[in-house]
Amino acid sequence: MKLQLVPARTGLVWVRLGVRAFWRQPMALSVLFFLCMACMSLATLVPIVGTVLALAMLPTSTLVMMVAAAEASQGRTPTPTLLLTAFRTGRERMRAMVVLGLLYAGCFLLVIALSALIDGGQFARVYLGAESLTQEIAESAAFEGAMWLSVLLYLPLSLLFWHAPGLVHWHGVAPVKALFFSIVACVRNLGAFAVYGLGWSGVFLGTGVVVSLVVTMISLAGMGQGVATTIMVVTALVLAAMFFCSVVFSFRDCFEPPQAASAGGETAGG
Mean of pLDDT values over 146-170: 94
**Is residue 2's pLDDT more than 50?**
yes
- 136 in any annotated domain: yes
Q: Which of 54-58, 82-86, 180-184, 238-242 has the lowest mean pLDDT?
A: 82-86
Q: Are 41 and 229 in contact (CB under 8 A)?
A: no
* Phi/psi-derived region of residue 177, left when phi > 0, alpha when psi is between -120 and 50, beta in every other case: alpha
**Is residue 107's pLDDT more than 70?**
yes
Distance, in Å, from the CA atom of 10 to the CA atom of 159, rounded to the nearest integer, reads 17
- 65 in any annotated domain: yes
Q: How far does the chain reach from its first CA to its final CA, in angstroms? A: 17
Distance, in Å, from the CA atom of 77 to the CA atom of 184, rounded to the nearest integer, reads 33
Residue 87 pLDDT: 81
Three-state DSSP state, 3: strand
Residue 159 pLDDT: 95
- 270 in any annotated domain: no
Residue 53 pLDDT: 94
**Tens-place pLDDT, residues 51-101:** 999 999 999 999 999 999 999 999 999 999 999 887 887 888 899 999 999
- 142 in any annotated domain: yes
Range of the domain at 54: 10-254
Distance, in Å, from the CA atom of 244 to the CA atom of 123, rounded to the nearest integer, reads 26
pTM for the full model?
0.88
Distance, in Å, from the CA atom of 253 to the CA atom of 214, rounded to the nearest integer, reads 37
- 209 in any annotated domain: yes
Mean pLDDT of the chain: 89
Burial of 64 (0-12, 13-18, 19+ CB in 10 A): buried
Number of structural domains the chain divides into:
1
Name which residue leads in pLDDT, 217 or 240: 240
- 259 in any annotated domain: no
